[in-house]
Structure 1
């Protein structure tokens, strides 16, 4: 299901190569019109992120908070 002919792969978490290869394979299958497994991972839209312009600020604040917790 491509809205506005846009496909995306996301969720990289440091696991890297194996996940990126699997995600690219599934995206290519969708582009080619092939059937992919009916799993929420492949069929769920991106979650809504409130105030997206402040995402990096929130991320920075969380990292600072985690740094303080690590030092305790």
Structure 2
């Protein structure tokens, strides 16, 4: 068994990450972030399977602007 290192807690959406909290399940979208509807559907599917945080790539301004629209369609925190 190993000893966990004490870390600072940070808030991501409604989740508290770090400190003594459990490890959160994360996944990465495999679709270009600017494809809002497809990414939102992939995130919803991952959330149904237990994903608690979703990562999306942000390669250009189009991807960055898509984050706002995607967030309106999903309930779990997004990370760029």
Q: TM-score, normalised by structure 2?
A: 0.27
Higher relative contact order (CA 8 A, sep 6+): 2
Larger Rg: 1
Q: Which structure features the higher share of strand residues?
A: 2
What TM-score, normalized to structure 1?
Answer: 0.29
